[in-house]
């Protein structure tokens, strides 16, 4: 976007606006003019070769732009669907309390909200919306607690509906 880009409808300046997790170009004449355009076109890049072979097929991996930002995928797509999972920067792995095989990973929904899900999906569909804590509930014995923000501060809370365990503030 150039600094002097104008609305195609009314010729007023366009500015970047933010609503929730969405950002877009909008006309400064709102509400008289409701023109808006997504920023996706401006964030897309051409795939860039990385010089690293794909672990599944041996073709070269590429840096690509997608719906949720940049990612690394195979240049042989769609024949090879290898894609690296974005690392949330958290080296602490927490075992899935439901299937006991997978690990909980941080994910982002289409709307931009963060949640934690088992990496064995679709076999295991366990998810939680708050950050998991690798501790068992002292009251009911469930294998996982979550951090929840309450009026009195951050607490560890059991996710079982029938259990009302809440720790003292962290």
Q: How many domains does the chain have?
A: 3
In this structure, the answer to whether residues 119 and 158 fall within a common structural domain is yes
The whole-number pLDDT of residue 53 equals 86
Ordered per-residue pLDDT tens for the chain, 170 residues = 445 788 999 999 888 787 766 667 888 998 899 898 876 544 556 788 878 888 889 898 887 777 666 678 888 888 888 887 554 444 468 899 999 888 898 887 777 788 999 988 888 999 999 999 989 999 999 999 999 888 888 899 999 989 999 888 66
Inside any domain, residue 80: no
Note whether residue 134 is domain-resident.
yes
Range of the domain at 124: 86-170
Sheet with 114-118, strands from edge to edge, namely: 104-108, 114-118, 127-128
Do residues 117 and 105 share a domain? Answer: yes
pLDDT at 146: 92
> Do 92 and 158 sit in the same domain of this protein?
yes
> Does 96 lie in the same domain as 119?
yes
Asked if residue 126 and residue 70 are part of one domain, the reply reads no
How far is residue 80's CA from residue 74's CA, in Å, rounded to a whole number?
Answer: 7
């Amino acid at each position: 976007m150039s600094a002097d880009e104008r609305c195609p409808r009314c010729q007023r300046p366009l500015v970047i606006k933010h609503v929730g997790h969405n950002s877009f170009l909008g006309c400064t004449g709102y509400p008289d003019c409701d023109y808006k355009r997504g920023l996706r076109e401006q964030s897309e890049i051409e795939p860039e070769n990385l010089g690293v072979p794909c672990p599944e097929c041996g073709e070269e991996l590429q840096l690509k732009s997608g719906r949720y930002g940049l990612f690394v995928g195979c240049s042989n797509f769609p024949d090879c669907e290898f894609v690296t999972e974005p690392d949330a920067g958290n080296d602490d792995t927490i075992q899935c309390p439901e299937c006991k095989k997978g690990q909980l990973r941080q994910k982002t929904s289409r709307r931009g909200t963060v949640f934690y899900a088992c990496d064995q999906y679709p076999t295991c569909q366990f998810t939680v919306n708050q950050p998991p804590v690798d501790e068992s509930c002292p009251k009911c014995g469930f294998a996982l607690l979550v951090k929840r923000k309450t009026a009195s501060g951050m607490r560890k809370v059991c996710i079982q509906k029938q259990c009302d365990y809440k720790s003292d503030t962290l």
